Amino acid sequence: MVRVRCFTGMRRYLPDGRRGFEIELAEGADLRCLLDTMEVPPDIAPFIAVNGRKVAQDHRLRDGDEVVLFTHMEGG
């Protein structure tokens, strides 16, 4: 089971009002698989953190991982 939380622009890939979900993924699935399941178009490259660390889309997920997805943060 992987826990996924979405912020900002990534919320649009969730049903209305939802902010996250839990999902069972196949053995060896990577972040791209997860994004495909969520129907995120390939040209959208969200910020991905797994267990508090930034990772690339080919990072493989493991049972119990906490995934955070968000887009376009800037300024300061």
DSSP-derived pairing of the beta strands 47-50 and 53-54: antiparallel
Is 74 a residue that touches other proteins (CB under 8 A)? yes
Q: What does the alpha-carbon distance between residue 37 and residue 43 come to, in Å, rounded to a whole number?
A: 15
Stretch that binds other proteins, among 20-28, 30-38, 57-65, 68-76 (CB under 8 A): 68-76
For the CB of residue 76, give the shortest distance to other proteins in the complex, in Å: 5
Residue 63 backbone phi and psi in degrees, to 5:
-55, 135
Residue from 7, 20, 23, 33 touching other proteins (CB under 8 A): that is 7
Is 44 a residue that touches other proteins (CB under 8 A)? yes
| Residue carrying the six token digits 């209305």 | 16
Is 76 a residue that touches other proteins (CB under 8 A)? yes
Q: What does the alpha-carbon distance between residue 40 and residue 47 come to, in Å, rounded to a whole number?
A: 13
For the CB of residue 52, give the shortest distance to other proteins in the complex, in Å: 6
